[in-house]
């Protein structure tokens, strides 16, 4: 079977157009409303937790190598300081225990955890 060059390109373009129409049709049928997360399932930081304190776990922290600043940027009380090559340091006097740093930490296991404050007896 031999076809001319012109016919070959005509069939190729026709097949390409047909494929685009099929893909567009399937995308339209699959596009459904994006589910939204109800507010009660999202993160809402604690107002202030007197018995909780953020604790750094620098062996999992990305700030040691790549400069991840997620927790430091999210901390409203500015209790977290990033030390390149080491990880993060948390100022216990400033930490409110809200948990937003733990929530935004991208690592698994988390490099920032909320723990109970040590008792001062």
Q: Where are the domains of the chain?
A: 1-33, 43-116
Instruction: Identify the pLDDT of residue 30.
Output: 47
Which of 9-18, 39-48, 102-111 reaches the highest mean pLDDT?
A: 102-111
CATH of 43-116, one of 3.10.180.10, 3.40.50.720, 3.30.930.10, 3.30.70.20: 3.30.70.20
Q: What pLDDT band is residue 90 in, cutting at 50, 70 and 90?
A: very high
Per-residue pLDDT averaged across 82-110, rounded? 90
Would you say residue 29 has pLDDT above 90?
A: no
Q: Kindly give, in sequence order, each residue whose CB lies less than 8 Å from that of residue 74, ignoring residues fewer than 6 positions away.
A: 100, 101, 103, 104
Token duo for residue 109: 């296991």
pTM: 0.57
Would you say residue 47 has pLDDT above 60?
A: no
Would you say residue 77 has pLDDT above 80?
A: yes
Would you say residue 6 has pLDDT above 80?
A: no
Give the 3-state secondary structure of residue 43.
coil
Instruction: Identify the pLDDT of residue 18.
Output: 79
Q: How far apart are CA 94 and CA 117, in angstroms?
A: 13
Instruction: Identify the pLDDT of residue 7.
Output: 77
Instruction: Identify the pLDDT of residue 42.
Output: 53
Instruction: Identify the pLDDT of residue 112.
Output: 92
Q: How far apart are CA 33 and CA 36, in angstroms?
A: 9
Would you say residue 45 has pLDDT above 90?
A: no
């Amino acid at each position: 079977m031999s076809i001319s060059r012109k016919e070959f390109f005509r069939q190729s373009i026709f097949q390409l157009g047909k494929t685009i129409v099929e893909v567009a049709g399937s995308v339209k049928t699959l596009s459904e409303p994006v589910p939204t997360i109800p507010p009660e399932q999202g993160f809402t930081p604690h107002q202030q937790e007197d018995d909780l304190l953020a604790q750094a776990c620098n062996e999992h922290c990305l700030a040691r190598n790549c400069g991840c600043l997620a927790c430091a940027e999210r901390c409203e009380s500015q209790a977290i300081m990033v030390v390149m090559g080491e990880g993060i340091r948390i100022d216990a006097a400033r930490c409110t225990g809200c948990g937003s740093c733990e929530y935004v930490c991208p690592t698994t296991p988390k490099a920032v955890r909320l723990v109970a404050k040590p008792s001062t007896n």
